[in-house]
Amino acid sequence: MFQNRADAGEQLARLLQREGIEADIVLGIPRGGLPVAAPVAAALDAPLDVIAAKKMGAPGNEELALGAVASTGEAWYNDQLIAQLDVEDSYLEQERRHAATVAGEKLRNYRGTSDLAETTDRRVILVDDGIATGATVRACLQQLRGTGAADVVLAVPVASPSAADELSEQVDTLVVVETPDRFGAVGQFYQEFEQVSDAEARSYLFRA
């Protein structure tokens, strides 16, 4: 159990240090990933930046993620769910374009530009506040592979065991503080889990 995202970030940073992991850049996934990523970047003496993605919602249920899209348009699809719901290709393409646009706007909102953080040939640590299904994280990983990151570490305070198992095969290193068997939602492992505003999330970048 973490007190809040700052506490989670500090615990994650200590674990990364114990494992001897270094980075050229730390990327937080907004909004909740930035207050976790900030202590990590500070502890590892690495610059903090942001990476943006947007989930694609199912027809009639935006909360049910069919996948996610990075600001570059790189997409990850939940093929099993798409087949189960018999989602049409035209709907998926419409959602992909919309999600890519929103992710691009999010990136500009945080970075002040459409330019991506420089990750080519760099050691990258990707940070979020937790992983349930990992749709957003998977889209971000697609982008990092596409931009030629030399080494990708996925670091989170808490993840479901199933997501951790799957994602461990998609990164060079996976670092997780807790992988509890009984996993309902990320927020259940935080004493304080208030929504992070855009202004608060941006403030971590300005402090970096």
SS3 147: coil
pLDDT over 70 percentage in the chain: 100
Q: What are the φ and ψ backbone dihedral angles of 18, each rounded to 5 degrees? A: -60, -35
Q: Which CATH class is domain 54-111?
A: alpha beta
Instruction: State residue 207's pLDDT score.
Output: 74
Length of the chain: 208
For 81-127, the pLDDT digits (tens) are: 999 999 999 999 999 999 999 999 999 999 999 899 999 999 999 99
Residues 6+ apart with CB under 8 A from 14: 43
Topology of the domain covering 5-51+113-207: Rossmann fold (3.40.50)
Name residue 110's amino acid.
Y
Q: Where are the domains of the chain?
A: 5-51+113-207, 54-111
pTM (2 d.p.): 0.94
- Residues 170, 138 contacting (CB under 8 angstroms): yes
Q: What are the φ and ψ backbone dihedral angles of 153, each rounded to 5 degrees? A: -110, 125
Which residues, given as ranges, of the chain have pLDDT below 50?
none
Look at residues 147, 148, 152 and name the one whose alpha carbon lies nearest to residue 172: 152
Instruction: State residue 63's pLDDT score.
Output: 85
